[in-house]
């Protein structure tokens, strides 16, 4: 009994030290990663500002142009302001008339843009009642400053995500202390701790790879758009046909960026469970027919025949998600096919689940690639996917949507003989929505 009375306080202190150390390291990591997230946002906004700048014609009314660009290409939460070098507001995407707006020369981001060419700041907006991230950039002609602002709760939102992980980490710390106690009593729990540490490291690497790949995928079309826009703006292209070709390419790259950003946002919301999902009774036959009709031009250009069969399958789900799931699977079958090929879609319902099967007789997938097709930004044939306008996120979105409903997706494929994707959505998962 005496030994137990001596050891217990020691073990309690040991556990408390572990928990305290983990809490401190987690808080430090949170602020570090929050800073990194802010920098990622700043870089993305700077690139978007460059794209906005190239769409504006300084010889025409800026206010009207800015509102058109905002309505067609930017999210509703994004605000763009054009400011003269003396601080006068020339145009604002959220206002019909900028007359009477106060001078912006004292804004931190504007000062930095005038001094360094670009600047950023985070502050509370009294008019909007929330924290905002401001990024400003001096235009290439040096005549004005283009400023973009978005609601910014990056660190706060990250802390909300991290807090449960921190609590889990504290629990792990107690598990470690219990493992030390178990050593004295003959129990060994180190394997479980190692497994959790390996999983945490794996999750960290996945997030790091995702940010790296997303930045790379966005940089490619932005660089292309910038190149074409510079040639057009400097009057290097005199031939009208070439000018139209360049403008068409800029439009294509812009559409690709929009699709990529939409796909990234969808995956992010599905992972964080932060999406505002509208559930309704979805008729899958109607959705399938709509998707087949929308993909008919793509199939015709590839000389691929698409068809589908579906009974009276109605489920409580998100119409947008079901449309996205079918569109990605069928579009994938078209892209990785050959002239004269086919893509068949079959949907049916049984008491325990809804089943979706999309089968093609295309090029197939090598065995070593089959395990990776659902990874973000993984492409079996990069050249083919980019040429067809793919983002590399389609099958990853399929996997996330299926998982959202508690289901699964499987692949069977043979090189040269085609592929079959099989989706199962359990009725129990649907009923929980």
Model confidence pLDDT, tens digit, residues 310-334: 988 998 888 888 988 998 899 989 9
Report pLDDT for 270: 67
Report pLDDT for 431: 47
Better pLDDT: 114 or 235: 114
Q: Which CATH class is domain 62-149?
A: alpha beta
Better pLDDT: 162 or 321: 321
Q: CB–CB of 425/404 below 8 Å?
A: no
Whole-angstrom Cα distance, residue 175 to residue 169? 10
Q: Which CATH class is domain 208-276?
A: mainly alpha
Is the pLDDT confidence value at 150 over 80? yes
Is the pLDDT confidence value at 210 over 60? no
The SS3 assignment for 81 reads strand
DSSP state of 103: P
Report pLDDT for 220: 57
- Neighbouring C-beta atoms of residue 394, cutoff 10 Å: 23
β-strand partners of 307: 344
For the domain spanning 277-431, the CATH number is: 3.30.565.10
Whole-angstrom Cα distance, residue 116 to residue 112? 6
Work out the average pLDDT over 97-116: 89
Is the pLDDT confidence value at 49 over 70? yes
Q: Which two tokens stand for residue 148?
A: 């973009």
Is the pLDDT confidence value at 360 over 90? yes
Mean pLDDT (the chain) is 76
């Amino acid at each position: 009994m005496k030994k137990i009375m001596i050891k217990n306080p020691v073990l309690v202190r040991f556990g408390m030290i572990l928990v305290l150390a983990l809490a401190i390291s987690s808080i430090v990591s949170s602020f570090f990663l929050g800073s990194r997230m802010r920098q990622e946002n700043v870089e993305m906004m700077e690139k978007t500002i460059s794209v906005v700048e190239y769409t504006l014609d300084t010889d025409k009314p800026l206010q009207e142009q800015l509102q058109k660009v905002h309505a067609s290409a930017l999210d509703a939460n994004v605000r763009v302001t054009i400011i003269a070098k003396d601080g006068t507001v020339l145009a604002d995407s959220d206002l019909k008339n900028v007359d009477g707006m106060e001078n912006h020369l004292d804004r931190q981001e504007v000062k930095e843009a005038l001094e360094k060419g670009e600047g950023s700041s985070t502050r509370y907006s009294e008019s909007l009642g929330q924290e905002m991230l401001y990024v400003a950039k001096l235009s290439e002609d040096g005549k004005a400053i283009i400023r973009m602002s978005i609601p910014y709760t990056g660190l706060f939102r990250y802390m909300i995500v991290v807090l449960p992980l921190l609590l889990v980490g504290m629990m792990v710390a107690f598990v470690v202390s219990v493992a030390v106690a178990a050593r004295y009593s003959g129990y060994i729990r180190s394997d479980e701790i190692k497994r959790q540490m390996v999983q945490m490291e794996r999750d960290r690497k996945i997030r790091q790879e995702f940010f790296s790949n997303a930045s790379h995928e966005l940089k490619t079309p932005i660089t292309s758009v910038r190149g074409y826009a510079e040639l057009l703006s400097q009057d290097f292209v005199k031939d009208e046909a070439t000018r139209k070709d360049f403008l068409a390419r800029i439009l294509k790259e812009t559409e690709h960026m929009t699709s990529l950003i939409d796909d990234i946002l969808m995956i992010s919301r599905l992972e964080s469970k932060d999406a505002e999902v509208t559930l309704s009774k979805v008729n899958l036959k109607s959705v399938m027919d709509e998707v087949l009709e929308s993909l008919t031009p793509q199939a015709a250009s590839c000389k691929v025949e698409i068809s589908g069969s579906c009974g009276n399958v109605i489920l409580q789900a998100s119409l947008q998600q079901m449309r996205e799931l079918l569109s990605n699977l069928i579009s994938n079958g078209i892209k990785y096919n050959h002239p004269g090929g086919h893509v068949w879609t079959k949907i049916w319902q049984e008491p325990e689940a809804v089943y979706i099967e999309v089968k093609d007789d295309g090029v197939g997938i090598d065995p070593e690639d089959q395990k990776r097709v659902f990874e973000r930004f993984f492409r079996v044939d990069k050249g083919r996917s980019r040429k067809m306008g793919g983002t590399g996120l389609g099958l990853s979105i399929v996997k996330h949507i299926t998982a959202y409903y508690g289901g699964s997706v499987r692949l069977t494929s043979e090189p040269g003989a085609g592929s079959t994707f099989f989706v199962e959505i359990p009725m129990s998962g649907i009923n929980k929505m």
